[in-house]
Amino acid sequence: MNINWIESIIFPKVFLNEGKASTFLRGKTILITGASDGIGKACALLFSKFNVHLILVGRSRERLDEVAKIIINHNSTASIFVADLYQEEQVDQLLAHIRAQQTPIDIFISNAGKSIQRSLQHSLLRYHDFTRTNALNYLAPVKITLAITPILSKQCGQIVNVSALNVLLLPIAKWAAYQASKTAFDQYCRSNQSEWRKMNIRLKTIYLPLVKTKMITPNVTYQNMPAMERNEAALRILKLLMGASSYSRPWWAIFPITIGFFIRKFWDRI
Ligand SMILES: NC(=O)c1ccc[n+]([C@@H]2O[C@H](COP(=O)([O-])OP(=O)(O)OC[C@H]3O[C@@H](n4cnc5c(N)ncnc54)[C@H](OP(=O)(O)O)[C@@H]3O)[C@@H](O)[C@H]2O)c1
């Protein structure tokens, strides 16, 4: 079956009202982690069409500079902060920079992430897979959100958790490190949601399916599987920010979620 045809059904194109997007985004300051590539970069480039200030975080200065150049061509502004978010001291440096600049952040896109697919047998001597995925996918965004909650509160801001659909499904073999860390951050956010709400901060979570980025390229099994375009993922993030709903997931996600709920006992056996 033609994969493009399947993709058009399971990832229908979303329509963006540019006028509304402009009214919503104009003048806002948006912090994006993992802005040098993939979904983070696609978000930065999309938002930059609407006169915003972007704070771009990633490890590669070269790639962040390239993104910033395009943003400036779109008549938005960008500042760059090079940080390896695996390292807690570098997360602290980013936060010290934000405090020193007194940056009024309106939106935080928690996007930087690391994915690992590895069997238990091959993980026995690789505890570091777990510390690394936790450091980047869970602890760094926890530290950032704790530090910027007062700023977001003042701005009536929003936090976007760029999460994975797997978080809502039955856990599958070989994904323990990734799924545990993504689920931990999802739980942390959902647990804080009502308190953030009282502080005028909205939490938005996008549970993404496979997206065509470098994250999935090492995995050969994904090469012929339907996957969302990264620009479509960025559009969905913007629509989520603009809308009233607190989460977004593919329309068909209800089927594996429901099946998983009912067959857990059977699934555990197989
Ligand atoms: N692609 C998918 O199929 C998929 C599906 C569901 C959810 N997601 C989620 O979407 C988010 C973005 O993924 P993606 O597919 O866009 O990945 P990607 O193409 O690999 O991009 C990851 C971004 O994170 C940055 N990054 C990686 N390690 C970092 C570190 N230690 N410190 C700071 N920045 C770091 C990378 O920049 P540098 O290398 O310059 O640091 C890059 O900008 C992740 O949270 C992922 O879990 C992705």
10-33 tens-digit pLDDT: 999 999 999 999 999 999 999 999
Question: Which residues does the annotation mark as catalytic?
Answer: 178
Q: What is the mean pLDDT of residues 241-259?
A: 96
Provide the token pair at 35: 């802005």
Q: Which atom of ligand 1 is nearest to the CA of 222?
A: 3
Q: Ligand 1 center to residue 162 CA distance, Å?
A: 10
pLDDT, tens digit, for every residue of 163-179?
999 999 999 999 999 99
Q: Which atom of ligand 1 is nearest to the CA of 212?
A: 1
* Rg, Å, the chain Cα set: 18
Nearest 10 degrees: CA dihedral of 154, 71, 240, 17? 110
Q: How far apart are CA 203 and CA 111, in angstroms?
A: 14
Q: Does 37 contact ligand 1 (Cβ within 6 A)?
A: yes
Q: Ligand 1 center to residue 92 CA distance, Å?
A: 20
**pLDDT reported for residue 1:** 60
Q: Does 211 contact ligand 1 (Cβ within 6 A)?
A: yes
**pLDDT reported for residue 270:** 65
Q: What is the mean pLDDT of the chain?
A: 95
Q: Ligand 1 center to residue 157 CA distance, Å?
A: 23
* 229 to 109, 176, 186, 213: CA distances (angstroms): 18, 26, 23, 8
Q: Which atom of ligand 1 is nearest to the CA of 230?
A: 16
Structure confidence at residue 263 as a pLDDT band (50, 70, 90)? confident
Q: Ligand 1 center to residue 267 CA distance, Å?
A: 30
Q: Are strands 77-82 and 29-33 parallel, antiparallel or unpaired?
A: unpaired
Domains and CATH numbers, the chain: 15-269 (3.40.50.720)
